[in-house]
Amino acid sequence: MLTRQSWIALGVALLLGVVAVYVANTYLTAKQNQSALDGTTKVAVAAVPMDFGNVITPDKVRYVDYPNRSIPPGAFQNAAQLLPAGQQRFALMPIGVNEPILATKISGSGQGASIAALLPAGMRAATVRINDVSGVAGFVQPNNTVDVLITRQINSGSGAAQTVTDVLLQNVRVLAIDQQSKNPDGTPKVARTATLQVSPIDAQKLALAQEAGTLSLVLRKPGETDNPVVETVSAADLRYNLYGGARYPAPAVVGGLGSSMAGAMDRTAAAISRPRRPSSAPKAPAKSMWTTSHIAGDKSAPAPVTGPSVEIYRGTTSNSYQVGG
């Protein structure tokens, strides 16, 4: 018959055995999970380059080992997932060789290659009329970015119609030219329509703008940011000279003296362009702003300046100087 000490020793041994089994099981499970993470899985990649609209067939796909930790979301691991029996898939965007074939880059099972599948969430496709001039002579290609200009007539203050051009939209992606959503060789092609990727409110603007005036596309450099300062251009701006040709941003952009600078430039331009009236009386000698009384230290007020003058700002103060005879 077992004594009390024997029962205690037996219980301790059983407890230690259970703990040992638990620790060993935990360790082995962790090793198995680690091995699974460090292993590889077959993933479908493109065996040949594919463009928008290409049919995905088994000869265009191969399967390579991908680390389990690096499998991209939407990847296909076998032919049954990628190409179900009796159903076709199409490429919705260019896929390079050895690039994983993802669900976001191809159409759904049995669905065609629709340009709607290229639209990000919340965006719309809107088509505008173009020609050889408004379409930048055919150099606008799918996937380019453009600015959209509108030229229309508005009523001026005097009631007469005035032709102006505004920037309607900036940095708009071109989805297709005519019915082509790709141009493999990149050669210029004069088209009649351009399909643009825009927001719902911008789609409304395009529809209204086509009825209100004429639209033109302006090709942008890839990656260029939007211009925060845009202006309306009218017939009065169709010139270039020192004062009339340069347009200045809003005072908030130029600085605190922006409005003063603009006003001074306008007054100076008006003074210089003002025609002089012929006079039969002999001309008096021109009076300088700095007379003898100033040099001698006379404190009396200087003679007022008459005739055309130039106003120059230095900091927050201004000085007027007489110009002309």
In-domain check, residue 21? yes
128 and 233 both lie in a single domain: yes
Instruction: Kindly state whether residues 87 and 153 are assigned to the same domain.
Output: no
How many domains, the chain? Answer: 4
Task: Answer yes or no: do 196 and 277 share one domain.
Answer: no
Averaged over 246-255, what is the pLDDT? Answer: 41
Same domain, 131 and 99: no
Q: Give a yes or no: residue 243 inside a domain.
A: no
Are the beta carbons of 145 and 172 closer than 8 angstroms? yes
Q: Is the pLDDT of residue 124 over 90?
A: yes
In whole angstroms, give the CA distance from residue 325 to residue 307: 9
For residues 112 and 191, membership in a common domain is answered with: no
Q: Do 106 and 193 belong to one domain?
A: no
pLDDT for 108: 80
> Which residue, chain included where needed, has tokens 């001039």?
133
Question: Residue 77 is part of a domain; what is its CATH number?
Answer: 3.90.1210.10
pTM: 0.52
pLDDT at 197: 94
Which contiguous run of DSSP H or E holds residue 33? helix 4-38
Residues 143 and 219 in one domain: yes
Q: Is the pLDDT at 146 greater than 70, yes or no? A: yes
Place 142 in a pLDDT band, splitting at 50, 70 and 90.
Answer: confident
Domain span holding position 76: 41-116
Q: Domain for residue 248, yes or no?
A: no
Does residue 129 register a pLDDT over 80? yes
